[in-house]
Each structure stands twice: as C-alpha cells, then as structure tokens.
C-alpha cells in the first residue's frame, strides 16, 4: 500500500513519463504497480510513448519546471539522440529483476512479480534487439559483463518453464551485444554539442563543455593541494601519490569488507544524527553483497522508495570476483581500503544516499517524489563526503573506529582521493565525448591523478563510453557548493547547514538548474 494515498492518482503528465520508465519508477520511487512490467523500448514503442508526453501545466511553478525538464530530457535522449538504440543500459534497466530480492513486500508477492517480469524477457529482448542497431564497439565491450550478469543469481524458486524461456531470451541479447563488440563502430563519442545537450536539457541548464572542463581542472588542482596537505601530516616529506597507494593498499580482505562497511555505516549514521545535518535520521540501512546484475559498480544504495511501506534500504558492496587473479583482486580491494571506505560509506549512507532517500519519502508532491535527477543525487552524496569533513567527522570516527593507527587525517585523505576519482571522471567524459581523449589516454589520466592502476583505471575510463554523464558527481557537488555560498550570503547569521540541507532536500532530487528554489522557499 502506498504511504501517500493522496498521490496514488498521478498527474497525467507524470503518469505518461512513469509509463515510459517503469524500471526507474519501481526501483527509485517504489511504485510497485510497475512490478512485473517492462517498457516497450522498441523504436515504435518509444515513438508512441514520447508522443504521449506533455499536457496541462502544474500549479506549482517549481514542480512544473521539474516535470518539464524530465520531459525535455526524455525527448532529447530517446527522440533525438536515440541513445536507447546505442546503449544497452536502457534495456538492462528494464529487464533487471534484482530489485525483487529486496524485502519491500511479502516474499510470495515479490516472487510472483519477478516471475511475471521474467516471462516478459522474450518481448523485452525482441524490443532491445530491434532497437540496438547502432551500439559502438567500445560500449558493447564495456557492458558485455553487465549483460551477462543480468541472468546470474536467478533464485532457485523461479519455475523451470519461466527460467528456460527467460534464459533463452537472455542468450539472444548476449549474442547481439557480443556481435556489436566485434562489428560495431569504434567511435563512441557524442560530440561536444551532443554531450552538452545530454547533460543540460534534463537538468534545466545550459552546459558549456569548455567552461565545465576549466572548472574541472581548477577543482583537480584544489583537491591535489588538499590531498598533499593531509598526506603531509600522515607521512611528512614523502611523495604524495606513493603514500596514497600505500594507504589504499591497507584494509579488510574480501571476506571482511562487509563487516568494515557496517562499522563505517554505523559511524556515519551516528554522526549525522548527532549533528542534525539532515532533516530525517530514521529508517534501517543494511549492508549486503551486490546483486550479480549490478556488480559493474563497486558500491551502491538501494533505498526504500517514496511509494513503498517503510522497509530496509540496502548499501550494496561488490567484492572481488572469485575468478580474478591476485593482482586484479588487490587492485579492486583498494577501493575498500581503511582510507577510502569511510568516505564511500558516508556517500552511500549518511548523510548521502540513504539520508536523501529518507527525505524523498517526505518530499511534497508526486513530482518531487517520483522524478529523481541523478546529477543532483550523486552531487549531493559527493558533497556530503566533504561536508562532514568540515563538520568534524574525521575526529569523531577516529575515537570510535577501532582501526589501529587510523586518524582524522586518514578520513580527509580518503575524501580527497575519492574526489580526485570523481573529478577525473568529469574530465574524462568531457575529453572522450568531445573527441580530445582516447580510452587509453583516459586510463592514463586516472593512473596519474588517482591511486587507480591497471584494470581499475581502465574500468573507470571505459565507463565513460556507456555512461557519458558520469561526471555528474563533481558537477552536482560544485553547483551545491556554489548555492551554499549564496545561502550564506543571503541568510547571513540565520544560515546553518541543517537549514540549508532541509531546504534543498525538500525539493526531492531536483534538476540541477532548479536548486535555487531552495533559497527562495527555505
């Protein structure tokens, strides 16, 4: 049952958007009326869905602009750029059944929905193959693991006939993407104008890639300087990146990563509540292994959505693949070191994504609860890492972590290391999609500016081919920081982090160009 029955009847314009992306509505908003349903992402299906968008204006000007930005973003990404014909991720999001594992409803009910979803894989794969006629080879090579992983971990209780039909459909999709990895065009770049419009239209902003690249370089320089200061206190006189690579090599082994993440989760939740940094500090967050279909990401949050009853949210961790060699395993575990995992946990849990999810459940109006800008969401969580540093989380955690030799400087170093990875993503996405950087050059940039080496650096570089807006972390953070300074000036002595954060999160997860409403109404 919806926790917001007054919003069960969505505005017709919002319903048209929701019907276009049932996977996002089910997983992000918790609209389980979309359980067992897959969007028709065939060319004719997309054309029909886009024709249904639009209608009467909403009464609230902010919500009208929020909804209009999402409509414009869909029209551009699907109707003009035709990304659903070049990027398998659009289809994987609709086929994915891992969300039914989360305990949002009785097990039998979730099982029936999952099986109904799996029976639609045949049609969903037919639609995907009909659409995916222009996959660049680099995109196919980067995503083939995720495509194969879609069918991993299917529960044992899936009926045999349903499993057989679903796996036969899945095999056809795998074969299609494997062919594209060999036969597809090598150029995956969107071009400067294409990237600018993809980034900006749905965020209600004008984007100048050259200006944003300059901001990224300035941020990289700031982060390098701050990292040097923190490392200088940990190991005076030594080469910064050498020390960083030593620090990121220290941490839990594969078997203890979950336990370590649980401890940092507890600390981040306790600190956030004690300091009153977010409007809501309720709910339950569990730490668990990532579902197989999501193991292309190192860590992620699956929250209790606004339309769900209040169920646990999950902070998912991806361990090293058992098939990997010793070196590849070691490099992957560096992302969960005692230096970096604390910042990752703040990002994913509190006051990052989990805290954001708690606020989304109370955001006023259906538009704000349903339509989530990922640039704002990731920008908020990335902003949270540095914000809690300013508020004293390092010292708080040092007293309670139980990690021998761990100090506030280690948290600070981890924040700057994570931020350097995110700002390098922004530089790489801008470089690769404006045609000034190759995948190999991007991997070298990750190796130079971050502790990532070898397969980890190459994996980050390849991600830009299929996730061209993955610079959203830094971009979103920079815009939130800019607005915070404006709030300090506007509100003067009445400014506080708690007030600013509540005003911001009352907007839900708004398009980045609309966050100024927080100052007007906060």
Same domain, 218 and 365: yes
pLDDT given for residue 520 in this prediction: 95
**Mean pLDDT for the stretch of residues 364-386:** 97
Say whether pLDDT at 451 is over 90.
no
Count of domains forming the chain: 2
Answer whether residue 126 is part of any domain: yes
Answer whether residue 342 is part of any domain: yes
User: Considering 133, 156, 189, which residue would you say is the last residue of a domain?
Assistant: 189
Burial class (CB in 10 A: 0-12, 13-18, 19+), 489: exposed
User: Considering 154, 189, 224, which residue would you say is the last residue of a domain?
Assistant: 189
User: Considering 157, 189, 221, which residue would you say is the last residue of a domain?
Assistant: 189
Answer whether residue 124 is part of any domain: yes
Answer whether residue 200 is part of any domain: no
Answer whether residue 437 is part of any domain: yes
Residues 6+ apart with CB under 8 A from 490: 519
How would you classify the pairing of strands 285-289 and 313-317? parallel
| Span 219-244, pLDDT tens digits | 999 999 999 999 999 999 999 999 99
Which of 272, 260, 263 lies closest to 350 in space, CA to CA? 272
| Span 255-270, pLDDT tens digits | 788 999 999 999 999 9
**Mean pLDDT for the stretch of residues 88-105:** 92
Same domain, 223 and 157: no
Same domain, 232 and 317: yes
Burial class (CB in 10 A: 0-12, 13-18, 19+), 6: exposed
Residues in the chain: 522
**Mean pLDDT for the stretch of residues 97-125:** 94
CA–CA dist 30, 366 (Å, integer):
12
CA–CA dist 350, 238 (Å, integer):
33
Give the pair of three-digit tokens for residue 345: 């946990």
| Span 18-70, pLDDT tens digits | 999 999 999 999 999 999 999 999 999 999 999 999 999 999 999 999 999 99
CA–CA dist 71, 17 (Å, integer):
7
Domain assignment of residue 516, given as a range: 209-521
Same domain, 250 and 107: no
Same domain, 418 and 473: yes
Exposed e or buried b per residue across 26-55, where buried means at least 16 C-beta atoms within 10 angstroms of its C-beta: bbbbbbbebbbbbbbbbbebbeebbeebee
pLDDT given for residue 295 in this prediction: 65
The span from the first CA to the last CA of the chain, in angstroms, equals 31
Same domain, 179 and 220: no
Please, which pLDDT band fits residue 453 given cuts at 50, 70 and 90? Answer: confident
Same domain, 235 and 183: no
Same domain, 44 and 102: yes
CA–CA dist 330, 322 (Å, integer):
12
Say whether pLDDT at 498 is over 80.
yes
Same domain, 362 and 456: yes
pLDDT given for residue 296 in this prediction: 61
Say whether pLDDT at 319 is over 90.
no
CA–CA dist 373, 476 (Å, integer):
10
Answer whether residue 197 is part of any domain: no
Same domain, 27 and 95: yes
Give the residues across from 286 on adjacent strands: 314
pLDDT given for residue 7 in this prediction: 43
pLDDT given for residue 154 in this prediction: 85
Say whether pLDDT at 8 is over 60.
no
Same domain, 363 and 228: yes
CA–CA dist 248, 236 (Å, integer):
17
Torsion of CA 256, 351, 89, 196, to 10 degrees: -140
Whole-model pTM? Answer: 0.94
pLDDT given for residue 133 in this prediction: 97
- In order, the DSSP letters of 217-257 are HHHHHHHHHHHHHHHHHHSTTS-HHHHHHHHHT-S--TTTH
Answer whether residue 105 is part of any domain: yes
User: Which stretch, 72-86, 100-114, 322-336, has highest mean pLDDT?
Assistant: 72-86
Please, which pLDDT band fits residue 330 given cuts at 50, 70 and 90? Answer: confident
Same domain, 404 and 439: yes
């Amino acid at each position: 049952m919806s926790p917001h029955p007054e919003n069960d009847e969505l505005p017709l314009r919002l319903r048209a958007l929701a019907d276009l992306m049932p996977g996002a509505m089910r997983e992000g908003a918790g609209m389980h009326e979309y359980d067992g349903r897959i969007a028709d992402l065939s060319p004719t299906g997309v054309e029909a869905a886009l024709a249904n968008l639009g209608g009467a204006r909403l009464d609230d000007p902010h919500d009208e602009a929020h909804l209009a930005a999402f409509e414009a973003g869909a029209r551009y990404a699907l109707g003009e750029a035709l990304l659903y014909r070049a990027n398998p991720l659009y289809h994987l999001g609709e086929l994915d059944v891992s969300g039914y594992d989360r305990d949002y409803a009785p097990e039998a009910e979730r099982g029936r929905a999952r099986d109904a979803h799996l029976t639609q894989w045949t049609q969903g794969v037919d639609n995907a193959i009909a659409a995916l006629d222009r996959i660049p080879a680099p995109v196919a090579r980067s995503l083939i693991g995720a495509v194969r992983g879609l069918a991993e971990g299917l529960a044992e209780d899936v009926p045999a006939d349903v499993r057989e039909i679903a796996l036969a459909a899945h095999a056809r999709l795998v074969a299609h993407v494997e062919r594209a990895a060999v036969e597809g065009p090598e150029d995956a770049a969107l071009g400067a104008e294409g990237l600018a419009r993809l980034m900006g239209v749905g965020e209600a902003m004008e984007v100048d890639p050259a200006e944003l690249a300059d901001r990224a370089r300035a941020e990289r320089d700031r982060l390098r300087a701050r990292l040097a200061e923190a490392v200088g206190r940990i190991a005076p006189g030594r080469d910064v990146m050498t020390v960083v690579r030593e620090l990121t090599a220290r941490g839990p082994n594969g078997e203890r990563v979950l336990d370590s993440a649980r401890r940092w989760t507890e600390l981040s939740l306790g600190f956030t509540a004690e300091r009153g940094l977010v409007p809501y500090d309720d709910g339950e967050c569990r730490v668990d292994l990532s579902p197989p279909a999501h193991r292309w990401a190192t860590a992620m949050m699956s929250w209790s959505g606004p339309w769900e009853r209040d169920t646990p949210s999950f902070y998912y961790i991806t361990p090293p693949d058992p098939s990997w060699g010793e070196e590849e395993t070691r490099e992957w575990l560096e992302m969960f070191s005692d230096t970096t995992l604390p910042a990752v946990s703040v990002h994913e849990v509190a006051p990052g994504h989990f805290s954001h999810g708690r606020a989304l459940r109370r955001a006023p109006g259906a538009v704000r609860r349903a339509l989530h800008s990922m640039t704002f969401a990731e920008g908020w969580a990335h902003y949270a890492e540095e914000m809690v540093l300013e508020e004293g989380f390092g010292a708080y955690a040092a007293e309670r972590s139980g990690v021998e030799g761990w100090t506030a400087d280690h948290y600070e170093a981890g924040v700057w290391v994570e931020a350097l990875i995110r700002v390098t993503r922004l530089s790489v996405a801008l470089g690769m999609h404006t045609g000034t950087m190759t995948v190999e050059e991007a991997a070298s940039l990750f190796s130079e500016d971050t502790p990532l080496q070898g397969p980890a650096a190459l994996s980050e570089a390849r991600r830009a081919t299929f996730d061209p807006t993955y610079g959203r972390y830094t971009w979103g953070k920079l815009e939130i920081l800019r607005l915070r300074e404006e709030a300090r000036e506007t509100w003067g002595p009445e400014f506080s982090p708690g007030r600013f954060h509540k005003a911001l999160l009352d907007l839900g997860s708004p398009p980045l160009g609309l966050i100024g409403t927080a100052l007007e109404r906060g």
